[in-house]
Amino acid sequence: MNQHDTVRPIQWTPQGLRLLDQRVLPGEVRYVDCRSAADVAAAIRDMAVRGAPAIGIAAAYGVVLAARQAYAEDPARWRELIEPGLAALAASRPTAVNLFWALARMRDRLATAGADPVAALLDEARAIQEEDLAANLCMGEHGAALLGEPGAVLTHCNTGSLATAGYGTALGVIRSGYEAGKITHVYADETRPWLQGARLTAWELIQDAIPVTLIADAAAPLLMRRGQVRWVIVGADRIAANGDVANKIGTYGLAIAARAHGVKFMVVAPTSTIDWAIETGDEIPIESRLDDELLSMQGQRIAAEGAAAWNPVFDVTPAEYIDVIVTEKGVVQRPRRETLARLRE
């Protein structure tokens, strides 16, 4: 790790999976210890771990825990006994395709796990984690090469080490760009209602000595109009086959504002985020969460009593508003079905 890459949120120990609890950052650095697949599913559902790649990695280790518990219970029936744990993991979050990609990959490994399934599955989970970190480093280089003259950038939500195995997707590009002298400053949307930008992205960048300024989500178009950023750089939770991108709520509005103001819009995500079975973004399931996340903050109600809330967690940005998608396998300029499909070759 270099001076701009110091955070690692997912750790396997002999006792189980240890996750940096992202619900309490930045005020407290605390870990959640998971001893079962149900524990991992709860950590994903309750957002102790979040970010599409990190969810996939955590779920892979959750499969290891499910196998360990099933094998200890009955070595002859472990394939049957593992199924409730896998079902709990699959039900934890509906939008991030990396979750289902990781579970499918772990199921493939199950088929050849042999007499010692725990060791085989642990090797596969570790491989998923290591491959994600390598992909992030690669995407960082690809994305930084596109940035051109030095300037400031805007990012949304959290797409860094906290959301991945390390380094990050969009924040990986930002880390590489800053290291190369192509990024001079980072503006981070606060990202309501969970404040991932305020709590997590700002914290990560401060840990790694990258200058960051926090803005309200609604201030982004004014920032663009004043010419203070040259790129918007975001991640993705799912990408449809035609290049439409589901990401944290507010991303779609940023893309529209960027197009209106001549600001380039970059999506950074591993190819595991592309759901080739979904033709367009209209087919991507959009998770809605509890009203209280909007109506309250840290347990204190902030909205008028009697007010209802609509709380979609993601939105879909049509491919026509995206200038480039950066993956570990290459860069897709002006993405559409034909250009994105080249990544499968």
**Closest by CA position to 99, among listed 255, 340, 288, 287:** 287
Integer Cα distance of 129 and 100 in angstroms: 15
| DSSP bridge pairs for 33 | 18
Q: What are phi and psi of 162, to 5 degrees?
A: -65, -25
Strand duo 324-327 + 296-297: pairing: unpaired
Strand duo 314-317 + 245-248: pairing: antiparallel
Cβ atoms of 204 and 162 closer than 8 Å? yes
Q: Which residues 6+ apart lie within 8 Å of 295 measured at CB?
A: 301, 302, 303, 307, 309
Cβ atoms of 204 and 214 closer than 8 Å? no
What DSSP designation does 320 have? G
SS3 at position 33 = strand
Token output for 204: 């990560």
Name the CA radius of gyration of the chain, rounded.
20
Count CB neighbours of 26 within 10 A: 14
Dihedral angle, C-alpha 210, 213, 219, 220, nearest 10 °: -10
Dihedral angle, C-alpha 88, 89, 93, 98, nearest 10 °: -160
Q: Which residues are catalytic?
A: 237
Integer Cα distance of 273 and 283 in angstroms: 15
